Structure 1
Amino acid sequence: MKALGYLSSISDCELSTTDTNERNILNNKLAKWISVYKKTISASTVTSIFDIGICVKPNSTLAPDAAIVLKDKKNITGASLVIGKLKDVDLVATDTWLMLTYRNDQNDIGICNNQTSATLIFVCGQNSSAATPLLNYTMSTPRCSYVFQVEVPELCPKQAKKKMSAGAIFVIILLIVSSVYLIGGLLYMKFIRGARGLELIPHRDMWMKLGHLAADGCDFCCRCNTSTPKAGYFFDDHGSDLRGDDDILAP
């Protein structure tokens, strides 16, 4: 699986790398791949609620560069904590998943007392309205990390459309033509010709002759027994060959 690289700028996201070529290639792809691009989604744990902006500031915060905001469920009206900012972002993209990481270099006070970062892993799926927390936070150096999984349909492999084979199409056409011929012929023979019974079958004589010819052909091709007289017999199998007795019977 080949990684496509890092982005340097995506709309409101200011990424840490500045490769112009990679930026031009991936900047357009992100908006096409992710149905939640420039939208806000949410995630929750037992104790916390997260408002997550995909390269956009969540509506629940006044911080101008906030990307992910954490709130305590016990004090939801209290102050929120910014754990990731739009000004410090990394994006790694492959053919089947994307990984978007927000960082906040300011020390978190009250949870892990360290710098924080939040990583969004975009995978194939249909539930793009919410994120799934995979890791609440880790006491790692130099920062505390949060990990979320987001499902997006654009990353799912495209299924090849199944097409009917030429044989199937031919059989369907043959059945349709046969049905039209039979039904139309029956109606014509009944209402126009006034036929009854087996005479309702259109072209009945032709089909009967065709059946006999087919039977004769099968009999000719598949016949195993022959009528060749056996040795010692004359003309048929029931009478003895008396030609060898001519000298005895002669006067």
Structure 2
Amino acid sequence: MKLLRFPRRSFVVLWVLSIQLVLCRMGVFAGDGTKACKLPFQSESESKALNNLEPLANQNFTVDVTVNTSSYRYVFQVCGNAGGVPGAGVIQINLKAQEKPTVIGRYDSTKAIGGSDWVMLIYSNGDPYDNHCNKEPRKAIIMISCDKNTEAGKLTVVLEDNKKQNDCFYLFEMDSSAVCPVVQSRLSAGSIILIIGFCLVAIYLIGGFLYQRLIVGAKGMEQFPNYAFWVEVGNLTADGCDFVCRSRNREEAPAYRGVTSEALEEEPEERDDHLLPM
């Protein structure tokens, strides 16, 4: 029996395609991000709110809920196919029934409302209700609040408001640092100068110590950079302060009262060479 031989290049292509298929299924490859969401009324505020959610794009967030005897799984994705369902931003899966997922909201009908530390994402145009809310399309509201300690928190179901004739909705919550405001640096110019000064002093001390010890071969206190100079700093400072700040006459006072300093001066030596006999 003769075995078929495929070119090595074909194996490489098949291997790459298989990996890409698995990663796409897992939602690893990034799509268009938040640009996939379609805003009916394009505005700067909504675009800004969507841009804040860019770090959360291409990720599936799930939560399981049990209501009476029914169990449901909700899958949410920012401007992407939730659970792999094309066009769905939020889906509902009945875990006890073999039926297709229910689309709660689609990202081609999106509204985004942003605040200082929160973003409200609204997906409309979901699958119609069967018997509730006058059979209107479902709608999902996802409230994303600031939490600096987590990049993407756990998705929770707050309520399903379907006890009225119209304007029913599903409300979800989750926390994320993506919607937190950017904290600007509060360092003043003086603080920056002090930090730079401390860094320069540290470099001087460490570098001088290593130089004195490894290059010069100093031991003990002589390893301190410019040790001889710093030892004399105290004396030099005291001399400078004495010269500038003290105003008294520096001449010593005479030993006895009534005797002036001129009298104490050394008298010129008298020469008596002319008295010698010739």
> Where on the TM-score scale, by shorter chain, does this alignment land: which range?
0.5 to 0.7
The match for 2:91 is: 69
Separation in structure 1 between the aligned mates of residue 156 and residue 112 of structure 2, nearest angstrom: 19
Separation in structure 1 between the aligned mates of residue 232 and residue 87 of structure 2, nearest angstrom: 89
The match for 2:140 is: 118
Once the 2 structures are TM-superposed, how far is the Cα of residue 50 of structure 1 from its aligned partner?
Answer: 0.7
Q: Secondary structure at the match of 1:128?
A: coil
Correspondent of 2:83 among 46, 51, 59 = 59
Separation in structure 2 between the aligned mates of residue 203 and residue 12 of structure 1, nearest angstrom: 66
Q: Which is helix-richer, 1 or 2? A: 2
1:35-72 Cα distance to aligned partner (Å, 9 max, x none): 233543223333331122433333355xx554322233
**TM-score (norm: length of structure 2):** 0.54
Residues 159 and 106 of structure 1, relative CA distance in 2, 3 Å threshold: closer
Q: Which AA in structure 2 matches 1:45?
A: V
The match for 1:7 is: none
Residues 49 and 113 of structure 1, relative CA distance in 2, 3 Å threshold: farther
Once the 2 structures are TM-superposed, how far is the Cα of residue 174 of structure 1 from its aligned partner?
Answer: 2.8
Correspondent of 1:36 among 44, 56, 59 = 56
The match for 1:97 is: 118
Highest RCO, 1 vs 2 (Cα 8 Å, sep ≥ 6): 1
Q: Which AA in structure 2 matches 1:36?
A: L
Separation in structure 2 between the aligned mates of residue 204 and residue 67 of structure 1, nearest angstrom: 71
Kept after mapping to 1: 8 A contact 2:46/2:113: no
Residues 154 and 223 of structure 1, relative CA distance in 2, 3 Å threshold: same
**TM-score (norm: length of structure 1):** 0.59
Matched, 1:132 2:156: yes
Separation in structure 2 between the aligned mates of residue 173 and residue 80 of structure 1, nearest angstrom: 64
The match for 2:237 is: 214
How large is the Cα RMSD of the aligned pairs? Answer: 4.6
Mark the runs of 5 or more structure 1 residues left unpaired by the alignment: 1-9, 228-233, 242-251
1:19-49 Cα distance to aligned partner (Å, 9 max, x none): 5xx27x8558725633233543223333331
Q: Which is strand-richer, 1 or 2? A: 1
Mark the runs of 5 or more structure 2 residues left unpaired by the alignment: 1-33, 259-278
Separation in structure 2 between the aligned mates of residue 136 and residue 117 of structure 1, nearest angstrom: 10
140-149 or 172-181, which deviates more: 172-181
Kept after mapping to 1: 8 A contact 2:53/2:78: no
The match for 1:46 is: 66
Separation in structure 1 between the aligned mates of residue 221 and residue 52 of structure 2, nearest angstrom: 66
Q: Percent identity?
A: 20
